[in-house]
Amino acid sequence: MLSILDKYIIRKFLSTYFFMLAIIMLLAMVFDIAERMSEFIQNQATIGAIFTEYYLNFLVYYGNTYSSMIVFIAVIWFTAKMAQETEIIPILNSGRPFNRFLRPYMIAATLIMLISLIMNHFILPRSNKVRLDFEERYYRNAHHVEDYHAEYPGNRVVYYSSYNGSDNLINDFVVEKWNNNKRIVYFLKARTAQNVPGTNKWILNDYYEKHFTKDGDEIIEGRRKEVQYDFTLEDMAARDNVVESLTYGELKKYIKRERSKGSKNIPTFEIELYQRTALPFATYVLTIIGVAVASRKKRGGIGVNIAIGLGITFVYIFAMKVMAVAAVNVGLPSVIAVWVPNVMFAGIAFILYRNAVR
């Protein structure tokens, strides 16, 4: 049963959080408009598409991504204000333990965490797909890939020298097939290859084929050939941020497929997967730190608490980036890299909580 005080704190928590979320996202949108407008005009993006396809989903993506950080700043702000106005001292002096004072904070944090968790795994990927499609059409440079190499089911190896998104052409396309004894049985090379959009059909130009058989080698050459493969251009030349548009189940399958191909980007994809759960749970850790830091009245007023809060936020973001780099470049397991900042700051939260109780 919630008391009047519980409802008061929850209302203050949520109203401050959503107000700060709106202000920060509005500022982010204004700065982004200033940076992107010339590209939107140059590529003839319509006003409707800019705001409904891009900025609506831009706000959803960045608002949810930095939700736990905004929670932290909101907690610091309104708790410090309560402390400065001497609202917290009577509460604690009434015999109410600090963990009871903390309860409404955790209730509000749980509500925000659950919303963020559902958004990350199910709603945000579909929103991101619309946003990323808009970016691809109106302001991203043409996608370019160099020296692609991957293994595919059926003992096949596929590689090419370059791909240019401006003409959707793959250069120096090669397919090799090997038997179980590690002997090559088929080789194909084409000067260029093009995937027919939306299909598994490929058009090869200036191609050379060689079949290795017991009776001798069979060589076929030609100017143009249409073939069917069980992969598409999206499997071979997708941007790394394509994983942002995949739901949890789709992302798990995508990682499994990329791992079977020997992709070097697996850590990046796994970080995206694990962060979808780790970032919402950071709401709890940062809420406890925020309450512990801001619940004591300080001489410098609210400004001191805000400065402390921003400092901790920057350290948290820096720790996330360092761990991500360690996973990608050093080989640290992605799940550990993603959860280490939460565990580290949970330790800090515990120490601050114990000191606040005293």
Q: Determine the pLDDT at residue 109.
A: 94
120 within 8 A of 277, measured Cβ to Cβ: yes
User: What CA–CA distance (Å, rounded) separates 255 from 123?
Assistant: 20
Give residue 301's pLDDT: 63
**pLDDT in the model for residue 311:** 81
CB atoms within 10 A of CB 237: 19
Rounded to an integer, what distance in angstroms lies between the CA atom of residue 175 and that of residue 231?
A: 12
pLDDT number for residue 299: 65
Q: What pLDDT was estimated at residue 141? A: 67
DSSP class of 296 = S
Pairwise CA distance, residues 128 & 31, whole Å: 20
pLDDT for res 25: 94
Task: State residue 178's pLDDT score.
Answer: 87
Specify whether the CB–CB gap between 271 and 332 falls below 8 A: no
**Tokens (6 digits) for 330:** 């050093």
Report pLDDT for 332: 86
pLDDT score of 105: 93
* Residue (of 108, 136, 116, 134) closest to 61 by Cα position: 116
Structure confidence by residue, pLDDT tens digits, 194-249: 988 878 899 999 999 988 887 778 888 899 999 888 888 877 777 777 888 888 88
What does the pLDDT look like over 263-309, one tens digit per residue?
A: 778 888 899 899 999 989 999 999 998 888 887 766 656 667 677 77
What is 266-299 written as a DSSP string? Answer: HHHHHHHHHHHHHHHHHHHHHHHHHHHHHSS--T
Structure confidence at residue 159 (pLDDT)? 86
pLDDT of 300: 59
Taking 50 as the pLDDT cut, the residues of the chain under it are none
Domain boundaries, the chain: 4-139+265-357, 144-238
